């Protein structure tokens, strides 16, 4: 089994590998079996971690950017050398189809490589002075120890998207991974240690109950930054908690992505993009489309071709190379999908294909029409393989419907009309717009949402700014 020795022995990672006083079980969503018992950290481990993060920050920030860059680059190399094992670990703990897990490891490693390079480009500025004897500078410095909380749906990439820029900037970093997926995070810590990462710079605190660990770390004034990826509901709680110590904060929250298919779209090209966007990770991503708007004139042909493509998707064991859709992550996620379908059917929706639970946590890929705005799937994240199709008449109507949500993470459109592509993407109130592109994420671009989808950006040169403070220095020379 592709699980790290340290995780198997119920260690967590702090200033070296440590034993927690308790453990909790990690289950495979594919089979229901217990994979192993992992360290279950609580208040004591969190208190200790804060002190270690503060101490390690003092020496880590003194290293040159070139030294930090070299360690990150070795971390990248080790991740790629262990791509298959990391991918299997991820698939085992949360059920992502193995071909997608391999892609996620490469994506996760991509952040490490990018920020290994970016560490060396944290430039300051000099400003022209208003007085002859003064010299004015702005320098950038690491914000301080960081506390990160990540979701289960990208167990590696959501970790490195935060840890790599933070460590590159000179911050120390404490991660509380999602309760379902500590194994990928612990694996990454083993590789960080092997890459020469100094003890205490990266700490991983798995726990079954996130609340005590989070409350201690967020209340601690030595922790200067909170970075969170997860639901809007939890983001709101942590945002409020962070107000007490005025932490610098980044929030990557939920989405409700619209996909608009205009009448000039080439359906043979559009449909594979929409399928990839909707069904990857069994629909369990923040950027998976949750509402597909199709121009009335092509609704019939789109529905027919789209349904054919959905029927061809292979549901099965996520460790098999040809599986397209694995299980949902847990019973709660599974019940939410069932509830959204039941609610839609009670309000007049019609299933075109799928709609039923299979055995275990598997759910049929589903296409559903006759949608109305009062259905739960039109306002809440379904986080499952369900595609509602809705028709529209005019561009203005499509934009209005797409923007009719408190979320603003990702939106998509398909068109061959250049002026429409510009006008619609500018009118969409979203942080990310995919034009003829259902998978826009990559490490060196700004990823993040507007409205209730979050604050800040991850990726690219924007991502490292989230871990830096600007210091203004005014120097008077003898007159
Ligand atoms: P979640 O909000 O339930 O949990 C996310 C993390 O928060 C987990 O580590 C969890 O243990 C922790 N947590 C939960 N309650 C907490 C509390 N009271 N105090 C402290 N920590 C707490 O989300 P999830 O189910 O793990 O992930 C799915 C959600 O994440 C979806 O809403 C999805 O859209 C969002 N997401 C957003 C992005 C993005 O980049 N914007 C990326 C991936 C996932």
Is residue 208 located within the same domain as residue 354?
Answer: no
pLDDT tier at 3, thresholds 50, 70, 90: low
The neighbour count for residue 222, using CB atoms within 10 Å, is 15
- Roughly how many angstroms between the first and final C-alpha of the chain, as a whole number? 71
Residue among 153, 234, 379 whose CB has most ligand 1 atoms within 8 A, to mutate? 234
Pocket of ligand 1 (CB under 6 A): 149-154, 158, 176, 178-179, 210-211, 214, 229-231, 234, 237-238, 252-255, 286, 381, 409, 449, 454
Residue 447 forms part of a structural domain = no
Q: Which residue puts its alpha carbon closest to atom 9 of ligand 1?
A: 178
Residue 211 forms part of a structural domain = yes
Is residue 97 located within the same domain as residue 232?
Answer: yes
Is residue 23 located within the same domain as residue 111?
Answer: yes
- Ligand 1 centroid, distance to 119 Cα (angstroms): 28
- Ligand 1 centroid, distance to 251 Cα (angstroms): 10
* Per-residue pLDDT at 7: 85
Is residue 264 located within the same domain as residue 341?
Answer: yes
Residue 268 forms part of a structural domain = yes
The answer, yes or no, to whether residue 22 has pLDDT greater than 80, is yes
- Ligand 1 centroid, distance to 393 Cα (angstroms): 36
Residue range 65-93: average pLDDT? 98
Residue 375 forms part of a structural domain = yes
Going by C-alpha positions, the residue among 85, 325, 313 that lies closest to residue 186 is 85
* Per-residue pLDDT at 318: 98
Is residue 226 located within the same domain as residue 334?
Answer: no
Residue among 159, 176, 207, 230 whose CB has most ligand 1 atoms within 8 A, to mutate? 230
Q: Cite the active site residues.
A: 252, 286
Q: Which atom of ligand 1 is nearest to the CA of 241?
A: 19
Number of domains making up the chain: 2
Is residue 320 located within the same domain as residue 171?
Answer: no
Residue 479 forms part of a structural domain = no
- Ligand 1 centroid, distance to 150 Cα (angstroms): 6
DSSP string, 110-129: HHHHHHHHHGGG---EEE--
pLDDT tens string 269-297:
999 999 999 999 999 999 999 999 999 99
CA distance 406 to 379: 9
- Expressed as residue numbers, the domain containing 20 is 5-253+453-473
Helices 182-194 and 83-94: crossing angle, nearest 10°? 160
Is residue 326 located within the same domain as residue 428?
Answer: yes
Q: Which residue puts its alpha carbon closest to atom 36 of ligand 1?
A: 230
**What count of residues does the chain have?**
479
User: What is the Cβ-side half-sphere exposure of residue 53, based on CA atoms within 13 angstroms?
Assistant: 31
CA distance 356 to 338: 8
Q: Which residue puts its alpha carbon closest to atom 42 of ligand 1?
A: 286
Is residue 397 located within the same domain as residue 268?
Answer: yes
Is residue 239 located within the same domain as residue 131?
Answer: yes
Is residue 221 located within the same domain as residue 340?
Answer: no
* Per-residue pLDDT at 8: 84
Q: Copy the structure tokens of residue 457.
A: 């950006």
Are the beta carbons of 114 and 161 closer than 8 angstroms? no
CA distance 162 to 176: 12
Range 442-469 burial, b when 16+ CB lie within 10 A, else e? ebbeebbbebbbbbbbbbbebbbbbbbe
Residue range 201-228: average pLDDT? 98
Helices 210-219 and 232-243: crossing angle, nearest 10°? 30
Is residue 458 located within the same domain as residue 344?
Answer: no
The answer, yes or no, to whether residue 426 has pLDDT greater than 70, is yes
* Per-residue pLDDT at 1: 40
Could you say which DSSP state residue 387 is in? Answer: E
pTM confidence score: 0.97
Is residue 321 located within the same domain as residue 199?
Answer: no
Whichever domain contains 205, its CATH number is 3.40.605.10
Q: Copy the structure tokens of residue 367.
A: 């296409």
Q: Which atom of ligand 1 is nearest to the CA of 150?
A: 9
DSSP 3-state of 312: coil
Average of per-residue pLDDT values in the chain: 97
Residue 448 forms part of a structural domain = no
Whichever domain contains 311, its CATH number is 3.40.309.10
- Ligand 1 centroid, distance to 305 Cα (angstroms): 34
């Amino acid at each position: 089994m592709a699980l790290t020795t340290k995780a198997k022995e119920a260690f967590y990672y702090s200033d070296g590998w440590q034993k927690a006083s308790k453990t909790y079980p990690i289950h495979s969503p594919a089979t229901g079996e217990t994979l192993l018992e992992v360290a279950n950290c609580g208040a004591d481990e969190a208190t200790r971690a804060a002190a270690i993060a503060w101490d390690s920050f003092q020496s880590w920030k003194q290293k040159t950017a070139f030294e930090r860059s070299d360690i990150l680059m070795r971390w990248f190399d080790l991740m790629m050398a262990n791509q298959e094992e990391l991918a299997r670990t991820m698939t085992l703990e949360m059920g992502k189809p193995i071909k997608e897990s391999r892609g996620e490891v490469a994506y996760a490693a991509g952040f490490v490589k990018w920020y290994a390079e970016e560490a060396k480009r944290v430039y300051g500025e000099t400003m022209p002075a208003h007085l002859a004897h003064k010299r004015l500078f702005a320098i950038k410095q690491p914000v301080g120890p960081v506390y990160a909380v990540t979701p289960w749906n990208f167990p590696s990439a959501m970790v490195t998207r935060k840890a790599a820029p933070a460590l590159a900037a000179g911050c120390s970093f404490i991660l509380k991974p999602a309760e379902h997926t500590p194994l990928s995070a612990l694996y990454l810590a083993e590789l960080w240690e092997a890459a020469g990462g100094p003890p205490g710079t990266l700490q991983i605190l798995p726990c079954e109950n996130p609340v005590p660990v989070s409350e201690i770390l967020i209340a601690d004034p030595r922790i200067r930054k909170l970075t969170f990826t997860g639901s809007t509901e939890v983001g709101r709680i942590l945002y409020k908690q962070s107000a007490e110590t005025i932490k610098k904060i980044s929030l990557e929250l939920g989405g409700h992505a619209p996909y608009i298919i205009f009448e000039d779209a080439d359906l043979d090209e559009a449909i594979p993009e929409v399928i990839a966007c909707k069904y990857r990770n069994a629909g369990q991503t923040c950027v998976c489309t949750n509402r597909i708007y199709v121009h009335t004139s092509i609704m019939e042909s789109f529905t027919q071709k789209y349904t054919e493509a959905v029927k061809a998707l292979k549901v099965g064991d996520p460790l098999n190379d040809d599986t397209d859709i694995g299980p949902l992550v847990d019973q709660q996620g599974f019940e939410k999908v069932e509830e959204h379908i039941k609610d839609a059917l009670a309000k007049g929706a019609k299933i075109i294909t799928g709609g039923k639970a299979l055995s275990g946590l598997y759910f049929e890929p589903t296409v559903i029409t006759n949608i109305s705005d009062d259905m739960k799937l039109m306002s809440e994240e379904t986080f499952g393989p369900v595609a509602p199709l809705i028709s529209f008449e005019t561009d203005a109507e499509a934009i209005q419907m797409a923007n009719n949500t408190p979320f603003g993470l990702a939106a998509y459109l398909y068109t061959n009309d250049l002026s429409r592509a510009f006008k619609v993407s500018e009118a969409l109130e979203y942080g990310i717009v995919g034009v003829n592109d259902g998978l826009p994420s990559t490490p060196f671009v700004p990823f993040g949402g507007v409205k209730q989808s979050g604050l800040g950006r991850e990726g690219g040169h924007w991502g490292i700014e989230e871990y830096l403070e600007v210091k203004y220095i005014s120097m008077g020379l003898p007159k």
